[in-house]
Amino acid sequence: MLAGEISRNHGTFHQAAQGKISALYVTDNQAINSLIA
């Protein structure tokens, strides 16, 4: 449950700054998925 909440907050943050850190977003997303899986 908590991991899902963090993931949603992270997604919102990255959407706001996606133009600048799109590569970082991909890396972060993979890390989050590994954490959840």
Residue-by-residue pLDDT tens, the chain, 37 positions: 577 776 777 777 666 666 665 666 677 778 778 877 6
Q: How many CB atoms lie within 10 A of CB 28?
A: 16
Q: What is the pLDDT of residue 28?
A: 76
Contact 14, 25 (CB under 8 A): yes
- pTM exceeds 0.85, yes or no: no
Query: What residue ranges in the chain does DSSP mark as E strands?
Result: none
Q: What is the pLDDT of residue 1?
A: 55
Q: What is the pLDDT of residue 19?
A: 61
Q: What is the pLDDT of residue 14?
A: 61
